[in-house]
Structure 1
Amino acid sequence: MLDPARGYDLIGDVHGCAHTLERLLERLGYSRRSGVWRHPQRMALFLGDIVDRGPRVREALHLVHDMVEAGQAQCIMGNHEFYALGWSTPAPPGSGKQFVREHTPRHARLIRQTLEQFEDHPGDWRDFLGWFQSLPLLIDGGRFRLVHACWDGSLIEALRAIYPDARVDEAFVKASAVPGSFASRVFNRLLRGTDMRLPDGLTLTSEDGFTRASFRTKFWEDDPQTYGDIVFQPDALPDWVARTPLTEEEKNELLRYGEHEPLLFVGHYWRSGKPAPIRANLACLDYSAVLYGKLVAYRLDQETRLDPHKFVWVEVERPEAPR
């Protein structure tokens, strides 16, 4: 699937920021020819979450889809593409649900901008849902890897025994409606990441009003001692929770991506500040573009350790200025 002679530009979560994506591609040396953004030597690799939240979801999807169809890009599935599939896919009998992704008020808010932008283009939306179904959940390029949220080697090995190219089918999406099923575990781990329950029945309410009983965790710390050592999300833990020691059982449950494994690129986690590696073989390229942060790329060539100088980004304008 990947041409070793090409360089790759890995691009984080777009979330409907189509004009910002065009500015980033221009900065990376791509130009639009015959309706498709192209580079003479390089290929773009998108980390998913092209849809939802932003002002120009339809335009962003056409841009990325057309690049993929023309052989100028590849794109993996993000949790929001999976949410769109789940929103539209009937749940299997006995699951207790009408759709794989239940039509709750919160879920409706997350997908609202996308559905509104396709109201006058229902055929377009059906086509894109079919395209989402074709997206792989990961790309393994040997010396580098892409997954939207978390690389779980054992789960991926089991997945690829069934779907060698990591492209799942509608039956797999339907099976994910059953909590605890293999399909549910794959989607939750690879597209949403790892988490841990808060202690003593505590809940936290995020800035967007969502109340949670768990928090997102790092999957690469080698010797964590406290909850604060493993938290990886925009919302900080209360100080007393951050200082809480991890039990041996909790430590053993943590996933660890080794420092000597291939380069790994993820999106998903809403980082802020100046883009930089998390460590020498791990980078998150989601810098909150749709919250007026940065749309970030990493220019990958033949290196086996990340170079802090190869991050490229554009600031997102308020609001996206017309072109």
Structure 2
Amino acid sequence: MPRIAFVGDFIDAGSGVKVPDDGAVLTRIRHLIEQGGAIGVMGNHELNAILYHRVDGNGLPLRMRSKKNTRQHRSFINQFGVARREALEWTEWFLASLPFWRELDSVRLVHACWSDNANGMIAGRRPDGYLQLEDLEEIASESTLFGRAVKTLVSGVEVKLPDDIRFTDFSGHKRREVRIAWWPNHVRTWRGAALSVPDPLELPDSQLPAIRNPSNL
């Protein structure tokens, strides 16, 4: 029985890690999983990497290789390059070894948000929660229920802020959408429910709009 559970974001730690070593982290995690000592699920960093290093039918990257996206993915690129053999091999391992969720006897694992509806939407096509290559273009577009369900599980519940409100994320980017707590929470103001906001005072302390129970999204 595995004794360790990894919940994703094994790569691209960002400014919080002074000398990131994605290769060492991945090698250690892979060894533990393949030896049966650990289990894992996919995070948005792994999914973004899968898309970044692959192209669509027109030869365009499934994840835009913009300055922002490249900067966020820099520690992985520095070790494995862009769409080179090692980068593709590692992202293939993500696909083959990391489902979006795991449901055990006494615990549920997911990276960002447990949603019965989103899980069910994905399970209708992929009962085991593992993606296939043919799913990637749909996921990249986020234009279908399946694609949006994937985004919910790995990125959480995001809500557009009121007009003219922005906040600065941990990478220095201005954002108009904010992640909110999806678990039962009596705090329902923008400032109180927001997640991953460096300075909550940038957000209004006014009431959130009515939102369906996020766990049922």
Check whether TM > 0.5.
yes
Match of 1:49 in 2: 9
Is the aligned partner of 1:142 residue 2:110? Answer: no
Identity, in percent, stands at 23
Secondary structure of the residue aligned to 2:42 is coil
Match of 2:156 in 1: 193
Unaligned runs of 5+ in 1: 1-5, 7-41, 258-323
Larger helix percent:
2
Supply the distance in 2 between the matched residues of 1:159 and 1:240 (Cα, whole angstroms). 33
Alpha-carbon spacing, 1:166–1:147, altered in 2? closer, same or farther (3 Å): same
One of 123, 127, 141 as aligned partner of 1:160: 123
Supply the distance in 2 between the matched residues of 1:239 and 1:46 (Cα, whole angstroms). 32
Supply the distance in 2 between the matched residues of 1:152 and 1:58 (Cα, whole angstroms). 31
TM-score, with structure 1 as normaliser: 0.59
Secondary structure of the residue aligned to 2:78 is helix
Offset of residue 198 of structure 1 = 1.1
Contact 1:91–1:177 (Cα < 8 Å) also in 2: no
Offset of residue 130 of structure 1 = 1.0
Match of 1:88 in 2: 53
Match of 2:210 in 1: 251
Q: Give 1:80's aligned amino acid.
A: H
Offset of residue 256 of structure 1 = 4.3
TM-score, with structure 2 as normaliser: 0.86
Contact 2:121–2:149 (Cα < 8 Å) also in 1: no
Provide Cα deviations, 1:113-165, integer angstroms capped at 9, x if missing partner. 1111124xx54333211101111011111321000000011110121121111
Supply the distance in 2 between the matched residues of 1:225 and 1:81 (Cα, whole angstroms). 31
Q: Give 2:61's aligned amino acid.
A: F
Q: How does 1:79-228 map to 2 (within 5 A)?
A: 79-92=44-57, 98-119=60-81, 122-134=84-96, 135-228=98-191
Alpha-carbon spacing, 1:224–1:254, altered in 2? closer, same or farther (3 Å): farther
Match of 1:69 in 2: 34
Secondary structure of the residue aligned to 2:120 is helix
Larger strand percent:
1
Unaligned runs of 5+ in 2: none
Structure 1 window deviating more from structure 2 (185-194 vs 228-237): it is 228-237
Supply the distance in 2 between the matched residues of 1:140 and 1:131 (Cα, whole angstroms). 21
Contact 1:172–1:183 (Cα < 8 Å) also in 2: no
Q: Give 2:116's aligned amino acid.
A: G
Q: Give 1:167's aligned amino acid.
A: Y
Q: Give 1:89's aligned amino acid.
A: R
Offset of residue 200 of structure 1 = 2.0
Is the aligned partner of 1:229 residue 2:192? Answer: yes
Secondary structure of the residue aligned to 2:10 is coil
Offset of residue 225 of structure 1 = 4.1
Secondary structure of the residue aligned to 1:200 is coil
* Runs of 4 or more consecutive aligned structure 1 residues displaced over 6 Å after TM superposition: none
